[in-house]
Amino acid sequence: MNTYLNALGIICNLGTGKAAVAEALFAGDDSRIRPERGWIPNHEPPLGSVHAELPPVPAALRHRDNRNNRLLLAAALEIEADIRAAIATHGPARIGVVLGSSTTGIEEATHGIAAYRHGGAWPADYHYSHQELGAPAEFLAEWLGLSGPSYGISTACTSGARALMSAQRLLRMGLCDAVLCGGVDTLCRLAINGFHALEAVDMQRCDPFSRHRRGINIGEAAALFLMTRENGAVQLLGGGASSDAYHMSSPDPEGKGARKAMEDALRSARLNAAQIDYINLHGTATEHNDSMESQAVAGMFGHTVPCSSTKSLTGHTLAAAGALEAALCWLSLTDVRAERRLPPHVWDGEADLALPVLNFAHVGSHLPAGGRRYVMSNSFAFGGNNASLILGDPA
């Protein structure tokens, strides 16, 4: 049974909406990663912040008002007409919601807890539900009046990718006729300082796969797809997931779990490695991730398939990353006016000679002309949690 990503709503540091994000993405505009004060004491880490004004949460849903839900609402509003049409066609009980998130409303909750510790009383706008991992999905379902399956997925940096895989299963099992799926995460002190404590935050723009790589830049984003069985612009051909459980935070150094996820994705899509035209790498710019991913990719695909990490443009958007980077692949596949450009790999150009050689895309790189095109998007997370998606032109 085929499943399609019919509509995409997106917001990140590159812009609000598909057109703005595509313009900055394909130009390789890394100016949206900027140093910011107030997040880590005595430091100004570069962050992929969204500076656009976000839509207000409707008054009836004031109890769900936080930045995470406002970011999600901004993405949903871009495709509201498509969503409402799906509801009218299938009914609210046949529409599901599956969203990946890890920060939800933790930043607001942190301020509430601080106020309680300081004054002994909870602020009037504090709600514990802000920090529940299923809260974004519940908010979206409540706003739209949906009564189909609605839940959150939180598997760290694979959450958004796994949300798409879960949505595909709901359709194939006949539990839904359409699913809103993707990921959303916003900046919060807990996550930023946590990665800083792990010495994994780069105080300059990150450099994936460079010999000078020092760690991640953190960003925020929301990417929301409408997935159905009805033929659409992009087909979700398959996905693979694995959990190697090598270490609490470090990946298997040989990339065995990453390779299994990619192999499973190819198998589910009924493709072979030679058919993949582009790979969006997880590419965090951390020492161990880039090492194992380059070994896994080179071992499966060789050295010629174009690939890139987009985290030097968007930052690492944590639980939203898998959905955001699938969305960037969606933008490539639908970029019909400019020969389907590829996201460029923006870095310092200083290759780590200890890593296998990869064919990094540059500004102006594009998918091959003619025939069906297939792209892969990788996401790898703490605990050896791995996911790989394959998107392509519809049959």
Name the residues annotated as catalytic: 157, 282, 316
- Report how far Cα 79 is from the mean position of its chain's Cα atoms: 18
Residues 182, 222 contacting (CB under 8 angstroms): yes
Burial 77-106 (b: 16+ CB within 10 A, else e): bbbeebbeebbeeeeeebbbbbbbbbbbbb
For residue 360, give the 3-state DSSP assignment. Answer: strand
Of 283, 297, 269, which Cα lies nearest the Cα of 157?
A: 283
Torsion of the alpha carbons at 366, 25, 380 and 130, rounded to the nearest 10: -150
Residues 328, 275 contacting (CB under 8 angstroms): no
297 phi and psi angles, rounded to 5 deg: -70, -50
For residue 352, give the 3-state DSSP assignment. Answer: coil
Instruction: Please list the residues that pair with 99 across neighbouring strands.
Output: 152, 182
β-pair type (218-219, 150-153): unpaired
Q: Which two tokens stand for residue 255?
A: 């990339």
Query: What does the alpha-carbon distance between residue 390 and residue 178 come to, in Å, rounded to a whole number?
Result: 19
Q: Which two tokens stand for residue 359?
A: 């064919």
Query: What does the alpha-carbon distance between residue 185 and residue 222 come to, in Å, rounded to a whole number?
Result: 7
